[in-house]
Amino acid sequence: MKILANDGIAASGITALEKAGYEVNTTHVAQEQLINYINDHNIVALLVRSATKVRKDLIDACPDLKLIGRGGVGMDNIDVAYAKEKGLHVINTPAASSESVAELVFAHLFGGVRFVYDANRNMPLEGDSKFKQLKKSYAAGSELRGKTLGVIGFGRIGRATAKIALGIGMKVLYHDPFMDKASITLNFFNGQEVTFDFESIDKDTVLQEADFLTMHVPAQKEYVIGKREFKLMKHGAGIVNAARGGVLDEVALINALEDGKIAFAGLDVFESEPNPEIKILMHPKISLTPHIGAATLEAQDRIGTELATQIIALLA
């Protein structure tokens, strides 16, 4: 049986699938040509990440397709319910990239409190001529230790982010309407472990008390953080969105940054992705990455292995 990994798959996944007798094709096929390619090449399983869309038209037009796999967490680029109605297996890898996304959140947070994102823009341009001025302008940094991290959405990624926060001495508050209570265990190199118990609190309370806010929610019809929410947040707070474009109102964010309500933002995802707005890209108080939350070698290896395991079990 033939599998098309249209957005790629790690070597670990290819090896496992080929060992089980599957033929893995990693050719990237343009969206408008995908239906014909699947039918012409007798593809039974289509693997995607966030780029390829699997909508009703493709599902209807590819009767031999048996499985759709998403290498990652979010499934908003797949018509999941419709695919299942048509008898297709729909799988994803919710646990594989949690740590990678959490570490990227803290890359933005550490860079934010020490102005690294802006220094990296200005040092190549003026580091040789205005070194002392730049040193002075970035001298009022702050520490994360002892501060409060608010987490909106306490699934696997939210909890992985909280683990890092706890490890560096931050207080963690969270809001999740689907998870009233949660426990997090920190495992240390010498075998010791410490468990922390949490309860979800009111979203507005999280906003009011957090020094820094991070979101880990699926795609929404409405903004999770917008004008009203920014008004509730502490003056000078920081915010990171490594969840989905569209959960954060970028117009309201720009306004909050301009009036000083928000000190900095870290964005890995964007409302108009893959063409982020120029105002976002050029803003001096925004740390930017191009949707790379799960883009570590370790995470991709785990994703490949997890996809392969599920495919072999379902299509055997």
Domain that residue 179 falls in = 98-288
Residue among 240, 262, 244, 245 at smallest CA distance from 253: 262
Residues 276, 176 within the same domain? yes
Reported as a pLDDT band with limits 50, 70 and 90, residue 287 is very high
Residues 125, 251 within the same domain? yes
Reported as a pLDDT band with limits 50, 70 and 90, residue 280 is very high
Handedness of CA 97, 94, 162, 207 (dihedral sign): positive
Reported as a pLDDT band with limits 50, 70 and 90, residue 186 is very high
Residues 80, 120 within the same domain? no
Residues 34, 123 within the same domain? no
Mean pLDDT of 128-136: 96
Mean pLDDT of 193-215: 97
Handedness of CA 158, 160, 162, 164 (dihedral sign): negative
Residues 158, 261 within the same domain? yes
Residues 148, 72 within the same domain? no
Model's pTM, two decimal places? 0.89
CATH number at residue 88: 3.40.50.720
Handedness of CA 33, 37, 40, 43 (dihedral sign): negative
Q: Is the pLDDT of residue 113 over 90?
A: yes
Residues 309, 273 within the same domain? no
How far CA 10 is from CA of 13, 179, 302, in Å, comes to 6, 32, 8
Residues 116, 77 within the same domain? no
Residues 212, 177 within the same domain? yes
Rounded mean pLDDT of the chain?
Answer: 96
* Helix and strand element counts for the chain (H, E): 13, 13
pLDDT at 125: 95
Mean pLDDT of 204-219: 96
Q: Which residues are catalytic?
A: 244, 273, 291
Reported as a pLDDT band with limits 50, 70 and 90, residue 53 is very high
Cis ω for the linkage preceding 276 (within 30 of 0): no
Residues 237, 304 within the same domain? no
Strands 171-175 and 193-199 come out as unpaired
Reported as a pLDDT band with limits 50, 70 and 90, residue 51 is confident
What are the tens digits of pLDDT across the range 29-38? 999 999 999 9
Reported as a pLDDT band with limits 50, 70 and 90, residue 94 is confident
Residues 140, 228 within the same domain? yes
Residues 118, 66 within the same domain? no
pLDDT at 219: 86
What are the tens digits of pLDDT across the range 4-30? 999 999 999 999 999 999 999 999 999
pLDDT at 95: 83
How many domains, the chain?
2
pLDDT at 73: 82
